[in-house]
Amino acid sequence: MKIRSFISGCEGTQLSSVETTFFHEQNPWGLILFKRNCETPTQIAALTSAFREAVGRKDAPVFIDQEGGRVQRLGPPSNYWRKYPSARAYGDLYAKSPLAALRTARHVGRLMAEDLIEIGITADCLPVLDVPQAGAHDVIGNRAYSLHLEHVMALARAHTAGLMDGGVLPVMKHIPGHGRSEVDSHHNLPVVNARRQELEQVDFPPFAAFADAPMAMTAHVIYSAFDKTEPATLSRKIIKSVIRGQIGFRGLLITDDLSMKALSGSFEEKCTKALKAGCDMLLHCNGVLAEMREVAAAAGELKGKAMRRAKTALKSARKPQAYDKKAALKDLDLVVSA
């Protein structure tokens, strides 16, 4: 059965018979989970297993946004998962002790990976490599590691190293940079009018430092210095000259959620534009079946360079490594209780 070039959400805590049939027939590359899908470890393990059974691939990736702080799909008020800090907590610690901050970021990444891999989640949509600027909307805010790009790069590398030590793949976001947007792309289309030189000096370097990442998620943001009409997700100019060119990213390029209000038009139009622009994989998150069907119809077969990048991404996962969990929990307390 041909794999289609999209990652889909689902509606609830278990697959309905209609969803199971849909996944079996349309065969999306992966699944993404949200808080609405997560109640208990046992339930999530059954859900991820049911998805893989429906598509007939044991290695089908399952994604989640488990950053910590306000973007934590598994966490309080549930008693099953720990509270994890926002990325900025590592940046605050870095200002006092770089060594402690880097060690803590890696330890916490390892703890997060253990939570995920045990229930069948194999990819986490972090690190957030955006560098917030003065006057920007707080949609990024403390989700960013720091206001200093060098600190962002160091802490993100440590955090994702811990994640990969635990067998979970990272997805860097939001390439080529969401830190200047003055509106929330969940609701409106941000337009960044910064000069090319500013973007090249501040926004792009963290992504260039992670050009070896297996996967990246695009930003639904217009960068007028490069393309005055289309956001990065839909812009061939930006994907070719900036993301693949200047930044040098060679991994699997995934759109941000196509159901976000930043993008206008039908799902067929959005999907077609994104693929033509150079995105490898479409992402649809809200679990609305009618929309899922539209995305599936437009996605097409995963093949060529996109298929090779998808296979390479999955091959970059490694078996969970042993670690000092007691030390990791002690470091977690450093940033949670700060």
- Number of structural domains (the chain) is 1
Residue 254 pLDDT greater than 70, yes or no: yes
- 169: its two tokens: 């793949």
In a domain, 335, yes or no: no
Residue 11 lies in a domain: yes
Query: Is residue 144 over pLDDT 90?
Result: yes
Known catalytic residue at 107: no
- Domain assignment of residue 328, yes or no: no
Q: 337 in a domain, yes or no?
A: no
Distance CA 133, CA 259 (A): 26
Indicate which CATH number applies to the domain containing 155.
3.20.20.300
State the catalytic residue, choosing from 24, 138, 186, 324: 186
Strand 66-68 with 71-72, pairing: antiparallel
Could you confirm whether 186 is annotated as catalytic?
Answer: yes
Active-site hit among 124, 256, 257, 331:
256
pLDDT at 35: 96
The string of pLDDT tens digits covering residues 12-64 is: 999 999 999 999 999 999 999 999 999 999 999 999 999 999 999 999 999 99
Angle at 93 between CA 65 and CA 327, to 5 degrees: 75
- Give the C-alpha separation, 283 to 299, whole Å: 10
In a domain, 274, yes or no: yes
Percentage of the chain with pLDDT > 90? 92
In this structure, what are the phi and psi dihedrals at residue 285, rounded to the nearest 5 degrees? -110, -25
Question: Which residue segment(s) compose the domain that 230 sits in?
Answer: 4-323
Q: Is residue 329 part of a domain?
A: no
When the pLDDT of each residue in the chain is averaged and rounded to a whole number, the result is 96
pLDDT attached to residue 108 = 98
Position 338 confidence tier, pLDDT thresholds 50, 70, 90: low
pLDDT band at 303 (very low <50, low <70, confident <90, very high): very high
| Separation CA 130–CA 202 (nearest Å) | 9
Least confident window among 76-80, 161-165, 231-235, 299-303: 76-80
Residue 64 lies in a domain: yes
Domain contains 109: yes
User: Using CA atoms, how far apart are residues 184 and 34, in angstroms rounded to an integer?
Assistant: 19
* Parallel/antiparallel/unpaired status of strands 222-223 and 191-192: parallel
